[in-house]
Amino acid sequence: MKTTAIAPQLPDSNRLIHSISKVFIIACKESTHLLETTLAQEGLLCEVLRQHDQPEFEGFSPSYRCLLNHCRAWEQAAQQTKPTLIVEADFVPVIGLGQLPLPYNSNQRNLGIAWLYTCAPQIYSVSKEGYAQGFSTSMVAYIVTPQSAQYLTELVEIIRDRFSPNAYSTWDSQIDQFLRDRNFQNYISFRNYGEHGGRPNPEHRWHGLSTAHRADVLYGKLAFLPLYALEGKNAHLTLLRIRLHARLKGIARSLTGKFLRTKVLRRSSVPIRLIRFAIQRQLTIGLEGAVMRDDTKRGEITISLAVPLSPRLKHDPVLPVRG
């Protein structure tokens, strides 16, 4: 049997639980009880920011309303004394989230955003400690500092003027450039700290984009079953099928140079470091598992158990332990 353990050499200052002020859960009408319970069990203080219908919202596109809800979280994050973790209501964290390492140095002064869940990620550089600066879309789970959060509140006005509140916009794909233009550095995680468990977004399909995105590779087992898995006749097979597709898509992006661009590789002074990061990111045994909690009325079931291999980066706490 294989289990995972926390590497003793990882200092507390580099663990997620010791590095953030609180977690804001962005929601509309979704149930957040299971997510709140899971985060509380991880020792994380969380607060739900639920958006309610307002007369002035009439005619606003779903994407713009989503931006407004994130902006509300940014406004509160700007008032904190430490970085803030912001997650959407359909985020499904991995077990042990609070003990996982930060994807950036805890002493980083100009941190803009650190994506704990990535969609269409790319890396720009990797430090000698193993932290990867890069790009991602999607705002399912990420960390911002009080300083970067303050700047992000300005994005609402920019999007409103450029696209109008009634128009669809991929505003999340502009976060990286917006912050880098203001001298911040942005980071992507070595692996995803959880899954996007929500249903496909029809607004994306209406504009010719992929309707759903999932984590290509996870740090470990999911804390509970994603909502999308419950929509199939067999939740086990639905989960395995979708996770397999996500894993294969992530591997394909790596093999085709979409995760690590050829131009970036050629310009890097440490290309081997970037290649190592990209390869080790995808090196796992099997598929990640998920635990269904009692509230699913199906009991507690472990699906396709697998342990990620440690990439041997100094900040990676996941080590294989045989027992």
Q: What is the DSSP letter of 170?
A: -
Query: Which residues make beta-bridge pairs with 84?
Result: 144
Query: Which residues make beta-bridge pairs with 188?
Result: 115, 132
Distance CA(308)–CA(4), nearest Å, equals: 8
C-alpha 150: how far from chain center: 21
The C-alpha angle 300, 305, 308, rounded to 5 degrees, equals 135
Cα separations in angstroms, 213 against 7, 91, 121, 242, 244: 31, 12, 12, 10, 13
Q: What is the pLDDT of residue 10?
A: 65
Label residue 259 exposed, middle or buried (CB < 10 Å: 0-12, 13-18, 19+). buried
> Looking at the 3D structure of the chain, how many domains does it have?
1
Q: What is the pLDDT of residue 300?
A: 33
Cα separations in angstroms, 194 against 44, 97, 215: 15, 8, 7
201: which 2 tokens? 């977004």
C-alpha 195: how far from chain center: 7
55: which 2 tokens? 């007369």
Give every CB contact of residue 269 below 8 A, 6+ residues apart in sequence. none
Answer yes or no: are the C-beta atoms of 13 and 29 closer than 8 Å: no
Distance CA(242)–CA(304), nearest Å, equals: 13
For the chain, 323 residues long, give each residue's pLDDT as a single digit of tens. 333 333 335 677 789 999 999 999 999 989 999 999 999 999 999 999 998 877 777 788 888 999 999 999 999 999 999 999 999 999 999 999 999 999 999 999 999 999 999 999 999 999 999 999 999 999 999 999 999 999 999 999 999 888 888 888 889 999 999 999 999 999 999 999 999 998 766 665 555 566 678 999 999 999 999 999 988 789 989 999 999 999 999 999 999 999 999 999 999 999 999 999 999 999 876 565 544 443 433 333 333 333 333 333 333 333 222 22
Distance CA(40)–CA(38), nearest Å, equals: 5
> Containing domain of residue 249, as a range?
2-322
Distance CA(305)–CA(220), nearest Å, equals: 9
What is this structure's pTM?
0.85
Which of 192, 212, 216 is CA-nearest to residue 203?
Answer: 212
Q: What is the pLDDT of residue 168?
A: 85
In single-letter form, the type of residue at position 238 comes to: T
Which of 49, 149, 35, 22 is CA-nearest to residue 93?
Answer: 35
Report helix, strand or coil for 27. strand
